[in-house]
Amino acid sequence: MTAVGSEVERQLERIRQGAEVFVGESELRERLAQSLARVRPLRVKLGMDPSTPDLHLGHTVTLEKLRIFQELGHTPIFLVGDFTARIGDPTGRNKTRPALEADDVRRNAATYVDQVRRVLDVDRAEVRYNSEWMDRMSPADFVRLCSRYTVARLLERDDFANRHRDGIPISVHELLYPLVQGYDSVALEADVELGGSDQLFNLLVGRELQRDYGQAPQAVMTHPLLVGTDGREKMSKSLGNTIGLTDAPEDMYGRVMSIPDAAMPAWVRLLGFGRWPELVAQTAALEAGAGDPLAAKQALATRVVERFHGSKAALEAAEHFRRVVQLRELPEEIPLVHLAVAAGASAGLLDVMRTALALQSNAEARRLIAQGAVELDGARVSDPALRLTAGTHLIRAGRRRVARVEIGGE
């Protein structure tokens, strides 16, 4: 085998790692050989819609693969789907997803690149926005794009097919989403596109559109979806089961410690990309009915925090967890939150929790109360309609969220 052939096989071995579906491998082998002979890097695309302002650990599965392509000398393209976010990805939805307003998309997109920088060397990558070409596309051009695909083909997609069968409405704008995502590959002349396992249909549309536009079709690689902290559903902001890339070290550590034991092997496999051999051995022992689940989970939590905050922060987070969670000690520094109310008035518990404990919504506060996780001044709370009188209160939700709340006059 030639030196080029050996390098192609070496790169393919790394590229395959962790992939669930790999379409176009033989084509990619040829393209890799041409790339190495001509010193032309492959163009590797990964798109994410800024439908929320935060990226989470689930996003890092494909980001890590993009980083591997970058390490191999290829050109990573991180595509911010600021146009597609305005359509709304219908993947996995059993009802129409509302489109986001342009201002919301811009605010969310502004945070993405800095977060991606925690995984990828953004300074050596292309960062693109699909509004670059979609906003310039004339209505006539867009109609021509739509003419290149049939409704029958779109209805082959499982979520569309199921909704059509069950008489659940499908809005026309949802049918356009796969076409726009596919056209992104045409505009970028992508050699490879990465995505989660739920994106396979959309990625394959990109291959077909590239052929139709006279380009060589991209290889497609999908990766399994990371299950959320609940251990049941995929990690998703809307389900409240995420760990954000910008979460504080102690919060990140604590949330990893909350995942079910059964989820650990998949987390080690999907997040470690082979870099944590000691964790692979520990979780393999657990699957065989041996080993120490707590020790394995602590090791995983430490690795995750190290990945995004460094080893010093990971050690401090582990000590914080030991004191505050395992020994039930109060943190050394408890935030003091002032809430102003009218003289003689009181404050609703749900509103107090949302503000003082930085919860996402009153619904999250209700869930914590229903789970028996909320204590007020040392006593467990079960009534979400409870109102707090003026004064200073200690409120705690679960083992990690705690604050002093001072309720007083305006």
Of the candidates 341, 368, 372, 342, the residue with the CA atom closest to the CA atom of residue 357 = 368
* 130's tokens: 């699909």
Superfamily grouping for domain 336-409: RNA-binding S4 domain (3.10.290.10)
Q: Beta strand pairing status for 192-196 and 347-348? A: unpaired
How far is Cα 110 from Cα 292, in angstroms, rounded to an integer? 42
pTM of the model: 0.77
pLDDT at 93: 55
CB 116 within 8 Å of CB 60: no
The per-residue pLDDT for 37 is 83
* Domain boundaries along the sequence of the chain: 3-223, 247-326, 336-409
Dist. CA 399–CA 316, nearest whole Å:
16
CA distance 84 to 51: 9
The predicted structure's pLDDT at residue 92: 57
**How far apart are the C-alpha atoms of 349 and 354, rounded to whole Å?**
9
In three state form, how does the secondary structure of the chain look? CCHHHHHHHHHHHHHHCCCCEEECHHHHHHHHHHHHHHCCCCEEEEEECCCCCCCEHHHHHHHHHHHHHHHCCCEEEEEECCCHHHHCCCCCCCCCCCCCCHHHHHHHHHHHHHHHCCCCCHHHCEEEECHHHHCCCCHHHHHHHHCCCCHHHHCCCHHHHHHHHCCCCCCHHHHHHHHHHHHHHHHHCCCEEEEEHHHHHHHHHHHHHHHHCCCCCCEEEEECCCECCCCCCECCHHHCCCCECCCCHHHHHHHHHCCCHHHHHHHHHHHHCCCCHHHHHHHHHHHCCCCCHHHHHHHHHHHHHHHHHCHHHHHHHHHHHHHHHHCCCCCCCCCEEEEEECCCCCEEHHHHHHHHCCCCCHHHHHHHHHCCCEEECCEECCCCCCEECCEEEEEEECCCEEEEEEEEEC
Asked if the domains 3-223 and 336-409 are classified in one and the same CATH topology, the answer is: no
Dist CA 261 CA 116 (whole Å): 28
Q: Residue 90: what pLDDT?
A: 67
Nearest partner of 282 among 269, 294, 291, judged by Cα: 291
Q: Looking at residue 91, what is its pLDDT?
A: 64
* Secondary-structure class of domain 3-223 per CATH: alpha beta
The whole-number mean pLDDT for each consecutive block of 10 residues of the chain, a chain of 410 residues, reads: 86 92 93 86 94 89 95 95 82 58 82 91 94 94 90 80 82 86 96 94 94 96 94 84 90 90 91 87 85 88 94 93 74 80 81 87 86 79 84 80 79
Q: What are the residues facing 193 on neighbouring strands? A: 45, 220
In this prediction, residue 135 carries a pLDDT of: 93
The pLDDT value given to residue 211: 95
Pair of tokens at residue 408:
């007083």
- On the 0-12 / 13-18 / 19+ scale of CB atoms within 10 A, 117 is middle
